[in-house]
Structure 1
Amino acid sequence: MGVEIRVRRTPPDGLGPMLRAARERAGLGVRETGREARLSSGYVAHLEDGSRCPSRTVAQRLAAVLGLDADEQAQLYAAAVTDAGADHPARTAA
């Protein structure tokens, strides 16, 4: 039984700039956002530069920390993946 290799998904255009604008609106730096959302600052930067898609768990944390409105939350949750990071089936299986 081989290891399945996933193709990295690219977030939709506009997600990164929306996250950056929300972070700045909240008056937070990248490091503060990472600390409050329990993420590395590098990961936050990758989300903002559009090179990563968040997991659903990360999306929920960011929505709370950044105080996203309903439209921003919908955009973030639409880009979230359910089979990576904290939401990977190997991590959630008990």
Structure 2
Amino acid sequence: MLRGARQRSGLGLREVARQAGLSSGYVADLEAGRRCPSVTVAQRLVEVLGLVEGDRAQLLTAAVTDAGRDNPLRAPADA
């Protein structure tokens, strides 16, 4: 779903990664289903790709709340 949404947006993988503040390798892993995004990353991708409601809901449903930047054990950036 993510790869198709990116292609429909007309953006390349590197451009999506840049706009979302992610590495292109991580975005490629998300597209291939090798990784699951955090809620924060999913929301960034929704914004960058301008996802329609169905795709938006699918991506946010697949997101996990304790991954990466959303991990409750991760110290806040301003702490």
Gaps of 5+ in 1: 1-17
Q: What is the number of equivalent residue pairs in this alignment?
A: 77
| Structure of larger gyration radius | 1
Query: Is 1:56 aligned to residue 49 of structure 2?
Result: no
In the superposition, the TM-score normalised over structure 1's length comes to 0.78
Q: Say if 2:65 is the partner of 1:82.
A: yes
Report the equivalent of 2:29. 46
Q: Which residue of 2 aligns with 1:9?
A: none
Instruction: Indicate the RMSD between aligned Cα atoms, in angstroms.
Output: 1.2
1:67 aligns with 2:50: yes
Q: Are the structure 2 counterparts of residues 92 and 73 from structure 1 closer, same or farther at C-alpha, using a change threshold of 3 Å? A: farther
State the TM-score, normalizing by the size of structure 2: 0.92
Q: What 5-or-longer segments of structure 2 have no aligned partner? A: none
| Greater than 6 Å deviation, 4+ residue runs | none
Matched, 1:32 2:15: yes
